[in-house]
Amino acid sequence: MKIVTVVGARPQFIKAAAMSRILRETHVEVLVHTGQHHDPMMSDVFFTELQIPHPDYDLGISGGSHAQMTARMLTALEEVLIKEAPDALLIYGDTNSTLAAALAAVKLRIPVIHVEAGNRLGTLDNPEEINRIVADHTAKLLFACVPSAVEALKKENLQDRAYLVGDPMLDAFCHYRQWNGGQPPQTLSGLDGHAVRTPERFYYLTCHREENTRTDDTLAQILMAMESLPHPTLYPVHPRNHAAAVRLGQKLKLQNVKLLSPIGYLESIALVANAQRVVTDSGGVQREAFFAHVPCVTVFPYAVWPETMPGMCNVLAAPETEDILAKLSVTPAWSDAASPFGDGHACEKIIAHLPEALR
Protein backbone atom coordinates (compact mmCIF):
# COMPACT_ATOMS: atom_id res chain seq x y z
CA MET A 1 0.00 0.00 0.00
CA LYS A 2 0.95 3.63 -0.39
CA ILE A 3 0.65 5.45 2.94
CA VAL A 4 1.08 9.19 3.47
CA THR A 5 2.51 9.95 6.92
CA VAL A 6 2.13 13.49 8.29
CA VAL A 7 4.40 14.80 11.05
CA GLY A 8 5.14 18.27 12.32
CA ALA A 9 6.39 18.27 15.92
CA ARG A 10 9.13 16.69 18.03
CA PRO A 11 7.10 13.79 19.52
CA GLN A 12 5.89 12.82 16.05
CA PHE A 13 9.42 12.68 14.68
CA ILE A 14 10.35 10.18 17.39
CA LYS A 15 7.35 7.95 16.63
CA ALA A 16 8.03 8.21 12.90
CA ALA A 17 11.62 7.09 13.50
CA ALA A 18 10.31 3.87 15.06
CA MET A 19 7.45 3.35 12.59
CA SER A 20 9.00 4.28 9.23
CA ARG A 21 11.85 1.82 9.67
CA ILE A 22 9.33 -1.05 9.89
CA LEU A 23 6.63 0.35 7.60
CA ARG A 24 8.94 0.74 4.61
CA GLU A 25 9.85 -2.93 4.65
CA THR A 26 6.44 -3.83 3.17
CA HIS A 27 4.72 -0.59 2.12
CA VAL A 28 5.44 2.65 0.25
CA GLU A 29 5.55 5.65 2.58
CA VAL A 30 5.28 9.29 1.51
CA LEU A 31 6.50 11.45 4.40
CA VAL A 32 5.10 14.97 4.82
CA HIS A 33 6.55 17.48 7.32
CA THR A 34 4.13 20.36 7.91
CA GLY A 35 6.83 22.54 9.47
CA GLN A 36 4.94 23.09 12.74
CA HIS A 37 8.24 22.77 14.63
CA HIS A 38 10.56 24.62 12.27
CA ASP A 39 13.52 25.39 14.55
CA PRO A 40 16.52 23.23 13.45
CA MET A 41 17.03 21.97 17.03
CA MET A 42 13.37 21.00 17.27
CA SER A 43 13.15 19.42 13.81
CA ASP A 44 16.22 18.90 11.61
CA VAL A 45 18.31 17.35 14.38
CA PHE A 46 15.76 14.59 14.88
CA PHE A 47 15.71 13.62 11.20
CA THR A 48 19.50 13.47 11.21
CA GLU A 49 20.24 11.64 14.46
CA LEU A 50 17.33 9.19 14.22
CA GLN A 51 17.94 8.55 10.50
CA ILE A 52 14.35 9.39 9.59
CA PRO A 53 13.92 9.43 5.80
CA HIS A 54 14.06 12.93 4.33
CA PRO A 55 10.49 14.29 3.93
CA ASP A 56 9.02 14.02 0.47
CA TYR A 57 7.17 17.26 1.22
CA ASP A 58 8.26 20.01 3.62
CA LEU A 59 5.38 22.49 3.79
CA GLY A 60 7.11 25.06 6.00
CA ILE A 61 3.93 26.04 7.85
CA SER A 62 4.31 27.39 11.38
CA GLY A 63 3.27 30.34 13.50
CA GLY A 64 0.02 32.25 13.78
CA SER A 65 -3.06 31.34 15.77
CA HIS A 66 -4.35 27.77 16.00
CA ALA A 67 -6.95 28.55 13.34
CA GLN A 68 -4.48 30.24 10.99
CA MET A 69 -1.92 27.45 11.24
CA THR A 70 -4.50 24.68 10.86
CA ALA A 71 -6.16 26.37 7.88
CA ARG A 72 -2.88 26.75 5.99
CA MET A 73 -1.99 23.13 6.73
CA LEU A 74 -5.42 21.90 5.66
CA THR A 75 -5.13 23.58 2.26
CA ALA A 76 -1.56 22.40 1.62
CA LEU A 77 -2.20 18.83 2.79
CA GLU A 78 -5.28 18.52 0.59
CA GLU A 79 -3.10 19.30 -2.44
CA VAL A 80 -0.57 16.65 -1.40
CA LEU A 81 -3.23 13.99 -0.84
CA ILE A 82 -4.92 14.68 -4.17
CA LYS A 83 -1.57 14.41 -5.95
CA GLU A 84 -0.40 11.24 -4.15
CA ALA A 85 -3.80 9.45 -3.96
CA PRO A 86 -2.65 7.18 -1.10
CA ASP A 87 -4.40 4.09 0.23
CA ALA A 88 -4.34 5.59 3.73
CA LEU A 89 -3.12 8.49 5.85
CA LEU A 90 -1.04 7.86 9.00
CA ILE A 91 -1.05 10.45 11.81
CA TYR A 92 0.35 10.58 15.34
CA GLY A 93 -0.82 12.19 18.55
CA ASP A 94 -2.65 15.48 18.92
CA THR A 95 -0.97 18.45 17.23
CA ASN A 96 -2.46 20.95 14.78
CA SER A 97 -0.68 18.92 12.07
CA THR A 98 -2.65 15.86 13.19
CA LEU A 99 -5.95 17.73 13.10
CA ALA A 100 -5.37 19.28 9.67
CA ALA A 101 -4.25 15.99 8.13
CA ALA A 102 -7.24 14.08 9.52
CA LEU A 103 -9.72 16.65 8.17
CA ALA A 104 -8.07 16.81 4.76
CA ALA A 105 -8.02 13.03 4.37
CA VAL A 106 -11.52 12.21 5.61
CA LYS A 107 -13.06 14.79 3.25
CA LEU A 108 -11.23 13.07 0.39
CA ARG A 109 -12.46 9.66 1.64
CA ILE A 110 -8.94 8.49 2.39
CA PRO A 111 -8.84 6.12 5.39
CA VAL A 112 -7.18 7.69 8.42
CA ILE A 113 -4.89 5.68 10.73
CA HIS A 114 -4.47 7.38 14.12
CA VAL A 115 -1.58 6.19 16.28
CA GLU A 116 -1.77 7.18 19.99
CA ALA A 117 -5.56 7.24 19.84
CA GLY A 118 -7.91 7.48 22.81
CA ASN A 119 -5.94 9.68 25.19
CA ARG A 120 -8.29 11.96 27.09
CA LEU A 121 -7.82 14.67 29.71
CA GLY A 122 -11.55 15.34 30.10
CA THR A 123 -11.39 19.06 29.30
CA LEU A 124 -11.74 21.09 26.12
CA ASP A 125 -9.70 23.87 27.71
CA ASN A 126 -6.66 22.00 26.39
CA PRO A 127 -6.25 22.57 22.61
CA GLU A 128 -4.62 19.17 22.08
CA GLU A 129 -7.72 17.49 23.54
CA ILE A 130 -9.81 18.95 20.72
CA ASN A 131 -7.31 17.76 18.13
CA ARG A 132 -7.22 14.19 19.41
CA ILE A 133 -11.00 13.89 19.72
CA VAL A 134 -11.55 15.07 16.14
CA ALA A 135 -8.76 12.82 14.86
CA ASP A 136 -10.23 9.78 16.60
CA HIS A 137 -13.74 10.37 15.28
CA THR A 138 -12.54 10.80 11.69
CA ALA A 139 -10.22 7.77 11.75
CA LYS A 140 -10.91 4.33 10.35
CA LEU A 141 -8.21 2.69 12.49
CA LEU A 142 -7.41 3.65 16.08
CA PHE A 143 -4.21 2.31 17.62
CA ALA A 144 -4.11 2.84 21.38
CA CYS A 145 -0.94 2.82 23.48
CA VAL A 146 -2.45 1.92 26.85
CA PRO A 147 -5.57 0.29 28.33
CA SER A 148 -7.05 3.58 29.58
CA ALA A 149 -7.10 4.87 26.01
CA VAL A 150 -9.10 1.83 24.88
CA GLU A 151 -11.62 2.46 27.67
CA ALA A 152 -11.99 6.08 26.55
CA LEU A 153 -12.67 4.96 22.99
CA LYS A 154 -15.30 2.52 24.22
CA LYS A 155 -17.14 5.36 26.00
CA GLU A 156 -17.29 7.18 22.66
CA ASN A 157 -18.53 4.05 20.81
CA LEU A 158 -15.30 3.76 18.83
CA GLN A 159 -14.27 0.33 20.11
CA ASP A 160 -14.94 -1.41 16.77
CA ARG A 161 -12.06 0.56 15.23
CA ALA A 162 -9.70 0.31 18.21
CA TYR A 163 -6.65 -1.90 18.78
CA LEU A 164 -4.39 -2.00 21.84
CA VAL A 165 -0.87 -2.31 20.44
CA GLY A 166 1.47 -0.54 22.88
CA ASP A 167 3.42 2.68 22.54
CA PRO A 168 5.75 3.46 19.61
CA MET A 169 7.58 5.79 22.02
CA LEU A 170 8.62 2.68 23.96
CA ASP A 171 9.76 1.10 20.68
CA ALA A 172 11.96 4.14 20.03
CA PHE A 173 13.24 4.25 23.63
CA CYS A 174 14.27 0.58 23.53
CA HIS A 175 15.97 0.99 20.14
CA TYR A 176 17.94 4.15 20.92
CA ARG A 177 18.60 4.00 24.67
CA GLN A 178 22.08 2.47 24.35
CA TRP A 179 23.39 5.41 22.34
CA ASN A 180 26.74 6.47 23.84
CA GLY A 181 26.58 3.41 26.12
CA GLY A 182 23.47 4.81 27.77
CA GLN A 183 25.51 7.68 29.24
CA PRO A 184 24.75 11.40 28.80
CA PRO A 185 27.27 13.57 26.94
CA GLN A 186 30.07 14.95 29.08
CA THR A 187 29.31 18.51 28.02
CA LEU A 188 26.24 20.30 26.71
CA SER A 189 25.74 23.66 25.03
CA GLY A 190 24.58 26.44 27.34
CA LEU A 191 21.94 28.90 26.25
CA ASP A 192 24.68 31.55 26.17
CA GLY A 193 26.83 29.43 23.85
CA HIS A 194 29.30 28.31 26.52
CA ALA A 195 29.90 24.65 27.31
CA VAL A 196 28.18 23.22 30.39
CA ARG A 197 29.76 20.16 31.97
CA THR A 198 27.26 17.43 32.85
CA PRO A 199 27.30 16.97 36.66
CA GLU A 200 27.64 13.52 38.19
CA ARG A 201 24.28 14.02 39.92
CA PHE A 202 21.60 16.22 38.39
CA TYR A 203 17.90 16.81 37.90
CA TYR A 204 16.37 17.10 34.45
CA LEU A 205 13.74 19.75 33.66
CA THR A 206 11.67 20.30 30.54
CA CYS A 207 8.99 22.98 30.48
CA HIS A 208 7.25 24.28 27.38
CA ARG A 209 3.45 24.19 27.76
CA GLU A 210 1.59 27.46 27.46
CA GLU A 211 -0.02 26.89 30.87
CA ASN A 212 3.43 26.97 32.52
CA THR A 213 5.16 29.59 30.41
CA ARG A 214 2.42 32.12 29.69
CA THR A 215 3.70 34.44 32.44
CA ASP A 216 7.06 35.03 34.08
CA ASP A 217 5.48 34.44 37.50
CA THR A 218 4.53 30.83 36.72
CA LEU A 219 7.84 29.91 35.11
CA ALA A 220 9.70 31.61 37.96
CA GLN A 221 7.93 29.37 40.50
CA ILE A 222 9.14 26.28 38.63
CA LEU A 223 12.69 27.58 38.28
CA MET A 224 12.95 28.56 41.94
CA ALA A 225 11.91 25.06 42.98
CA MET A 226 14.72 23.59 40.89
CA GLU A 227 17.21 26.23 42.08
CA SER A 228 16.72 25.14 45.70
CA LEU A 229 17.52 21.44 45.13
CA PRO A 230 20.79 19.85 46.35
CA HIS A 231 22.09 19.05 42.85
CA PRO A 232 22.17 21.12 39.64
CA THR A 233 19.24 21.06 37.23
CA LEU A 234 19.78 20.71 33.48
CA TYR A 235 17.09 22.64 31.61
CA PRO A 236 17.06 22.58 27.76
CA VAL A 237 15.04 25.67 26.91
CA HIS A 238 12.31 25.43 24.29
CA PRO A 239 12.70 28.15 21.62
CA ARG A 240 9.42 29.78 22.63
CA ASN A 241 10.77 30.20 26.20
CA HIS A 242 14.17 31.57 25.23
CA ALA A 243 13.59 35.23 26.07
CA ALA A 244 11.76 34.46 29.33
CA ALA A 245 14.45 31.99 30.46
CA VAL A 246 17.24 34.51 29.86
CA ARG A 247 15.27 37.26 31.60
CA LEU A 248 14.43 35.10 34.63
CA GLY A 249 17.91 33.62 34.82
CA GLN A 250 19.26 37.12 35.36
CA LYS A 251 16.42 38.34 37.57
CA LEU A 252 16.48 35.29 39.88
CA LYS A 253 20.30 35.00 39.78
CA LEU A 254 20.05 31.31 38.89
CA GLN A 255 23.20 29.32 39.70
CA ASN A 256 21.92 25.79 40.22
CA VAL A 257 19.68 25.74 37.13
CA LYS A 258 21.78 25.35 33.99
CA LEU A 259 19.99 26.87 30.99
CA LEU A 260 20.80 24.83 27.88
CA SER A 261 20.16 25.16 24.18
CA PRO A 262 17.61 22.66 22.81
CA ILE A 263 18.97 19.13 22.59
CA GLY A 264 18.26 16.11 20.43
CA TYR A 265 16.32 13.00 21.34
CA LEU A 266 19.38 10.82 21.99
CA GLU A 267 20.85 13.31 24.45
CA SER A 268 17.45 13.80 26.07
CA ILE A 269 16.73 10.13 26.82
CA ALA A 270 20.27 9.72 28.15
CA LEU A 271 19.71 12.64 30.53
CA VAL A 272 16.31 11.27 31.56
CA ALA A 273 17.73 7.83 32.29
CA ASN A 274 20.62 9.20 34.39
CA ALA A 275 18.79 11.96 36.28
CA GLN A 276 18.05 11.83 40.00
CA ARG A 277 14.51 13.00 39.19
CA VAL A 278 12.70 14.41 36.20
CA VAL A 279 10.41 17.46 36.30
CA THR A 280 8.43 18.02 33.11
CA ASP A 281 5.20 19.10 31.47
CA SER A 282 5.85 16.91 28.42
CA GLY A 283 3.72 13.86 27.70
CA GLY A 284 6.69 12.17 26.03
CA VAL A 285 9.30 12.90 28.72
CA GLN A 286 7.09 11.64 31.55
CA ARG A 287 6.72 8.34 29.67
CA GLU A 288 10.47 8.14 29.05
CA ALA A 289 11.09 8.65 32.78
CA PHE A 290 8.65 5.82 33.47
CA PHE A 291 10.39 3.56 30.94
CA ALA A 292 13.75 4.32 32.62
CA HIS A 293 12.38 3.88 36.18
CA VAL A 294 13.29 7.45 37.11
CA PRO A 295 10.87 9.28 39.47
CA CYS A 296 8.98 12.07 37.73
CA VAL A 297 7.01 15.15 38.73
CA THR A 298 4.66 16.41 36.03
CA VAL A 299 3.75 20.08 36.31
CA PHE A 300 0.28 19.86 34.80
CA PRO A 301 -3.27 19.74 36.23
CA TYR A 302 -4.36 16.58 34.36
CA ALA A 303 -3.15 12.98 34.27
CA VAL A 304 -2.10 12.62 30.64
CA TRP A 305 -0.72 9.11 31.14
CA PRO A 306 -2.39 7.57 34.22
CA GLU A 307 -0.50 4.31 33.68
CA THR A 308 2.67 6.06 34.86
CA MET A 309 1.17 7.09 38.20
CA PRO A 310 0.66 3.96 40.35
CA GLY A 311 3.19 3.77 43.16
CA MET A 312 3.79 7.55 42.90
CA CYS A 313 6.28 6.93 40.09
CA ASN A 314 4.86 10.01 38.38
CA VAL A 315 3.01 12.63 40.42
CA LEU A 316 1.22 15.81 39.38
CA ALA A 317 2.22 19.19 40.78
CA ALA A 318 0.93 22.72 40.48
CA PRO A 319 3.33 25.32 39.02
CA GLU A 320 4.18 26.44 42.54
CA THR A 321 7.57 26.16 44.22
CA GLU A 322 6.34 24.56 47.45
CA ASP A 323 4.14 21.98 45.70
CA ILE A 324 6.89 20.94 43.29
CA LEU A 325 9.35 20.49 46.15
CA ALA A 326 6.80 18.50 48.16
CA LYS A 327 6.15 16.17 45.21
CA LEU A 328 9.90 15.74 44.61
CA SER A 329 10.23 14.36 48.14
CA VAL A 330 7.86 11.45 47.41
CA THR A 331 9.44 7.98 47.37
CA PRO A 332 8.06 5.89 44.48
CA ALA A 333 7.32 2.17 44.52
CA TRP A 334 7.99 0.52 41.17
CA SER A 335 5.88 -2.42 40.09
CA ASP A 336 7.30 -5.71 38.78
CA ALA A 337 4.27 -6.14 36.50
CA ALA A 338 4.59 -6.00 32.73
CA SER A 339 4.67 -2.48 31.28
CA PRO A 340 1.23 -1.08 30.44
CA PHE A 341 2.90 0.51 27.40
CA GLY A 342 3.54 -2.83 25.72
CA ASP A 343 6.62 -4.86 24.88
CA GLY A 344 8.52 -2.50 22.59
CA HIS A 345 7.02 -3.95 19.39
CA ALA A 346 4.02 -1.68 18.87
CA CYS A 347 5.05 -0.71 15.34
CA GLU A 348 5.14 -4.32 14.13
CA LYS A 349 1.67 -4.89 15.59
CA ILE A 350 0.27 -1.80 13.90
CA ILE A 351 1.63 -2.81 10.50
CA ALA A 352 0.35 -6.36 10.92
CA HIS A 353 -3.20 -5.03 11.32
CA LEU A 354 -3.16 -2.77 8.25
CA PRO A 355 -3.92 -5.10 5.31
CA GLU A 356 -7.00 -6.72 6.83
CA ALA A 357 -8.30 -3.62 8.60
CA LEU A 358 -8.01 -1.44 5.47
CA ARG A 359 -9.40 -4.06 3.08
The string of pLDDT tens digits covering residues 149-182 is 999 999 999 999 999 999 999 999 999 998 888 8
Mean per-residue pLDDT, 113-122? 96
**Higher confidence at residue 44 or residue 18?**
18
Domain count, the chain: 2
The confidence score (pLDDT) of residue 43 equals 64
Band (pLDDT 50/70/90 cuts) for residue 240 is confident
All residues at 6 or more sequence positions from 97 whose CB lies less than 8 Å from its CB, including other chains? 6, 7, 8, 9, 12, 34, 36, 73, 91
Percent of the chain exceeding pLDDT 70 equals 98
Element (H, E) at 6: strand 2-7
Residues 190 and 152 both lie in one domain: no
Residues 16 and 158 both lie in one domain: yes
Band (pLDDT 50/70/90 cuts) for residue 41 is low
Residues 154 and 214 both lie in one domain: no
Residues 244 and 264 both lie in one domain: yes
> Does 336 map to a domain?
no
Instruction: Say if residue 40's pLDDT is above 70.
Output: no
Among the listed ranges 40-49, 208-217, 218-227, 308-317, which one has the minimum average pLDDT value?
A: 40-49
Residues 163 and 183 both lie in one domain: no
**Reported pTM:** 0.93
CB atoms within 10 A of CB 287: 26
Are 161 and 142 in contact by the 8 Å Cβ rule? The answer is yes
> Does 96 map to a domain?
yes
Residues 8 and 107 both lie in one domain: yes
Residues 7 and 67 both lie in one domain: yes
- Give ∠ CA 250-256-257 in degrees, rounded to 5: 65
The confidence score (pLDDT) of residue 48 equals 84
CB atoms within 10 A of CB 246: 14
- Kindly list the catalytic residues: 208
Strand, helix or coil for residue 144? strand
Percent of the chain exceeding pLDDT 90 equals 84
The whole domain housing 202 covers: 179-328
The confidence score (pLDDT) of residue 113 equals 98
> Phi first, then psi: what are they for 135, rounded to 5°?
-60, -45
Amino acid at 49: E
Q: What is the pLDDT of residues 188-233, one digit of tens each?
A: 999 999 999 999 999 999 998 888 988 999 999 999 999 999 999 9
Mean per-residue pLDDT, 328-335? 95
The confidence score (pLDDT) of residue 178 equals 85
Instruction: Say if residue 248's pLDDT is above 80.
Output: yes
Query: Distance (Å, rounded) from C-alpha 309 to C-alpha 242?
Result: 31
Residues 134 and 15 both lie in one domain: yes
One-letter-per-residue 3-state SS of 237-301: CCHHHHHHHHHHHHHCCCCCEEEECCCCHHHHHHHHHHCCCEEECCHHHHHHHHHCCCCEEEECC
Strand, helix or coil for residue 97? helix
Instruction: Say if residue 38's pLDDT is above 90.
Output: no
Query: Distance (Å, rounded) from C-alpha 203 to C-alpha 231?
Result: 7
Residues 183 and 263 both lie in one domain: yes
Residues 140 and 214 both lie in one domain: no
> Does 115 map to a domain?
yes
> Does 335 map to a domain?
no
- Residue 139 belongs to a domain with what CATH number? 3.40.50.2000
The confidence score (pLDDT) of residue 126 equals 87
**Higher confidence at residue 19 or residue 10?**
19
Residues 207 and 139 both lie in one domain: no
The confidence score (pLDDT) of residue 49 equals 86
Instruction: Say if residue 104's pLDDT is above 80.
Output: yes
Q: Helices in 40-197 by DSSP H: which ranges?
A: 44-49, 66-84, 96-107, 127-138, 147-155, 168-176
Instruction: Say if residue 111's pLDDT is above 70.
Output: yes
Instruction: Say if residue 2's pLDDT is above 90.
Output: yes
Instruction: Say if residue 330's pLDDT is above 80.
Output: yes
Residues 123 and 229 both lie in one domain: no
The confidence score (pLDDT) of residue 293 equals 97
Q: Which residues pair with 57 in a beta bridge?
A: 32
The confidence score (pLDDT) of residue 39 equals 64
> Does 333 map to a domain?
no
> Does 172 map to a domain?
no
